[in-house]
Amino acid sequence: MKINNFIYILLAAYLATFLRLTINNNFFISLIGSFLVGFFISKRLSYAIEKTLVSGFFSCFTSFSGFIYFLYTILNQGDWIKFIIFFNLIIILNLFTMLFGYWISRKMT
């Protein structure tokens, strides 16, 4: 991989982090990120653009640590039922949102 690709990945990560801080809602961010991942993985992108989007932008934008922190706060309150419901709900909704993004992208082409 060329040095320019690393610079593009760093810039995409910076932009994603900035957007994540301005939105400041983990659930909404995860749904947007899942939709966009599904939308872009259905496209025939070059290797460099795919790595820039997936490794740079989406990995920083959807940030797994935000998801884990949200679940940790629920678990720390001792509410196991709420933890199990949110854990499953977030994963299922994100998978369907990603599938919907993939489907929309395929319908557009």
Q: What is the pLDDT of residue 1?
A: 63
Q: What is the full per-residue pLDDT of the chain (109 aa) written as tens digits?
A: 688 888 998 999 999 989 988 888 888 888 899 999 999 989 888 888 888 898 889 888 887 777 888 889 999 999 999 999 999 998 999 999 999 999 999 998 6
What is the pTM for the complete model shown? 0.82
Map residue 37 onto helix, strand or coil: helix
Domain ranges of the chain: 3-108
Token pair 């872009």 in the structure block, residue: 40
Give the CA distances from residue 36 to residues 42, 68, 71, 76, in Å, rounded to whole numbers and listed in that order: 10, 21, 23, 31
